[in-house]
Amino acid sequence: MKAIRLDAPETFSMATIDEPGPVGKDDALVRVHRVGVCGTDISGYLGKMPFFNYPVIPGHELGVEVLQVGDAVQGVAVGDRCSVEPYMNNPKSFASLRGRTNCCEELEVLGVHTDGGLRPAFVVPGRKLHKATRMNFDQLALVETLAIGCHAVDRASCAEGEHVLIIGAGPIGLSVIEFARVAKANITVLDLNEKRLQFCKETLGVDHVVLGQGDGSELAKFKEITDGNLFTAVFDATGSNQSMSNASHYVGHTGRLVFVGITTKEISFSHPMIHRREMTLMSSRNALPSDFTRIINLIEEGVIDTDPWITHRSTFDDLISDFPAYTRPETGVIKAMVEVH
């Protein structure tokens, strides 16, 4: 059996691995059909993701088919199509017992801390499978990406009509946009890439887009959009410490700043400013099981349209040669999908 392995930053290889292994009573054997390429995968490839363990088989945005289930597995059966919740938590940990399985102290994320889905088949705990009856494998592989945005918007408790700013229009930023739309917020997107902003405006129908110029001019535009009040919810999905440091300037009084992206570098901001505005600063990590269930329902009901998301495709065999292009914004990648089977 072959897998694609990230041995170190910028060094993919095709590796021979053993068979998937025994299926325990609480486990399921799944065949991988689709793997979405995530910003986390790109950061790991570029050496910018602090949580990556090398070598590792990447792949945590997964559309799979169930081949075998253990005796104690409930809710899924052989032949079911599923999305995989890739956050392997200890159910007895402090965070998990508080309902925060997404940030368990012992968390291991597939494709980041431990081997993921860029292989034909693997064994996964049955409780991490989320079944859908009316979705294809492409859609199932997009659920985890969308779940990141779903959890972030829930963290900020976005309200209808609220002025919301999303910084960064990559896949994670787009997932935040989707759920800000579901919340019926008034959405502004800031990015350095005109093509991505055009996609947000014309395809996703966001209210306002602002091209970052690096000269501070965006602040005046933001005040114009918000009648001088700035934003009561700001999401930074860039993974840039400079952007994350600057983001506090865009948050209005009583507002919330949510870091969805992650950086290995330090973030700094003026405390008097955030204190004066009684600003709330929070991070948003991964997602919760209920987010997966909610997203599957929203896609099956037609509330979320996944068709515009997938702009590039690779076969399993071609991914190693295709992948470097996915790291370059000028190639216009929104979401690349790997066809394993």
Q: For residue 170, give the nearest of 44, 329, 311 by alpha carbon.
A: 329
In this prediction, residue 216 carries a pLDDT of: 78
In a domain, 289, yes or no: no
CA–CA separation, 325 vs 199, rounded Å? Answer: 19
* Residues 251, 184 share a domain: yes
* Residues 274, 161 share a domain: yes
In a domain, 184, yes or no: yes
In this prediction, residue 51 carries a pLDDT of: 87
* Domains contained in the chain, number: 2
Task: Burial-class residue 32 by CB neighbours within 10 Å (0-12, 13-18, 19+).
Answer: buried
Q: For residue 122, give the nearest of 8, 3, 253, 259 by alpha carbon.
A: 3
**Is the dihedral angle over the CA atoms 312, 316, 322, 326 positive or is it negative?**
positive
Which residue type occupies 6? L
Task: Quote the domain boundaries for residue 43.
Answer: 2-133+309-339
In this prediction, residue 218 carries a pLDDT of: 94
pLDDT for 191-210, tens place per residue? 999 999 999 999 999 999 99
Instruction: Identify the CATH number of the domain in which residue 45 sits.
Output: 3.90.180.10
pLDDT for 133-161, tens place per residue? 999 999 999 999 999 999 999 999 999 99
Instruction: Identify the CATH number of the domain in which residue 253 sits.
Output: 3.40.50.720
In a domain, 44, yes or no: yes
* Cα-based angle 124, 126, 130 (whole degrees, multiple of 5): 100
In this prediction, residue 211 carries a pLDDT of: 96
Q: For residue 51, give the nearest of 65, 37, 40, 64 by alpha carbon.
A: 40
β-strand pairing of 310-315 with 335-339: parallel
In this prediction, residue 223 carries a pLDDT of: 97
In a domain, 138, yes or no: no
pLDDT for 20-71, tens place per residue? 889 999 999 999 999 999 989 999 999 988 888 999 999 999 999 999 999 9
Which residues does the chain have with pLDDT short of 50?
none
